[in-house]
Structure 1
Amino acid sequence: MSGTGESREAVRAWLALLNASRGLEKAVDAGMRTRFGHSISRFDVLSALDRAGAAGLRAGALTERLMVSDGATTQVTAPLIREGLVKRAADPNDGRVAIFTLTRKGEKIFADMAGEHRAWIDEAFAGLSPAQLKTLRRLLADIDPAKIARSKRTAA
């Protein structure tokens, strides 16, 4: 993409993507807070732990899945632990490492939240056909953020 017109279109596409993504995130976060008293960040923790199953996730793996810092993971899990939705235990193989799992209460709350989440996303994407949704997914998968890291422009 070398031409100025192509570059402008790329920036416009990026801005449209950000606008849609941030708008969806804000709407879902507001819905989660109103309906369940939890932020989308807490939903993301519950979702990651649900996918991990009974084995749970080590703290580092949870941090990676959430794409946040260790401190942010601690901050978002603390209220979930206090409310009995998440359990934090020492790794039996390495007591210095914490393992997070969903409690039964957490599983129930997450199931309710996930159902609402799906409904909200279905509503947001209702104007797109299944073929358009597949095309959108394919196009988004073709975007390569790693190119920025490999670019000579980002080298110091």
Structure 2
Amino acid sequence: MREPRDAIRAWLDLLGASNAIKKSVDTQLRSEFGVSISRFDILSALERAGPDGLRAGVLSQQLMVTEGNTTQVTAPLIRDGLVKRNAGRDDARIAIFTLTKKGERLFSKMAADHNHWIGSVFSDLSKSEIAAFRRILRKLNIPNNAAQPGKDAA
């Protein structure tokens, strides 16, 4: 049987690495583009959604935040002309968020830099080590209501 301390240490290592990467990416996004990682995540979700955009509730679920938080974070993106908020076709009470052309251009540049930054974090790992790391993450016993690591990307 595993020692509970080993699991706690592994969790702390994973949490520490994740937080350090997130902080580094946030710092770089702010420095290069004047955009926080939270705003980058919104632009990323909207880019993946395509021209139909996302309903506020779906966007909140994808970001794992409240709709109120989504509204707060999207407001500056709307003000800066990066995101557009439209009323739903069938129900005007529903907000649909989409990227503007300006938002698409900015996100394209940010995504390229983001890919480079994340690539540099993993640069000392071989392709097989990265694959093994992802397999291990998928084996974690995470409750069904939480995000599953590695499930959203190939």
TM (norm. structure 2) is: 0.91
Q: Does 1:74 align with 2:71?
A: yes
Which consecutive residues of structure 2, in runs of 5 or more, have no partner in the other structure?
Answer: 147-154
Gaps in structure 1 of 5+ consecutive residues: 150-156
Higher helix share: 1
Residue number in structure 2 paired with 1:135: 132
| Runs of 4+ residues over 4 Å off in structure 1 | none
Work out whether 1:60 is the aligned partner of 2:57: yes
Q: Distance in 2 between matches of 1:148 and 1:58?
A: 20
Q: Secondary structure at the match of 1:101?
A: strand
Larger Rg: 1
| Equivalent position SS for 2:94 | strand
Identity of aligned residues (%): 55
Output the CA distance in 2 between the equivalents of 1:93 and 1:106.
26
- CA drift at 1:148: 10
User: How does the TM-score come out when normalised to structure 1?
Assistant: 0.90
Q: CA deviation at 1:147?
A: 7.6
User: Relative to structure 1, is the Cα distance of residues 85 and 31 closer, same or farther in structure 2, using a 3 angstrom cutoff?
Assistant: same
Residue pairs, 1:74-153, within 5 angstroms = 74-146=71-143
Per-residue CA distance 1:28-54 (angstroms, 9 max, x = gap): 000000000000000000000000000
Q: How many residues align?
A: 146
Counterpart code for 1:51: R
Mapped partners of 2:52, 2:8: distance in 1:
43
In the TM superposition, what is the alpha-carbon distance from 1:71 to its structure 2 partner?
A: 1.2
Q: Secondary structure at the match of 2:130?
A: helix
SS in 2 for 1:100: strand
CA distance in 2, matches of 1:128, 1:71: 39
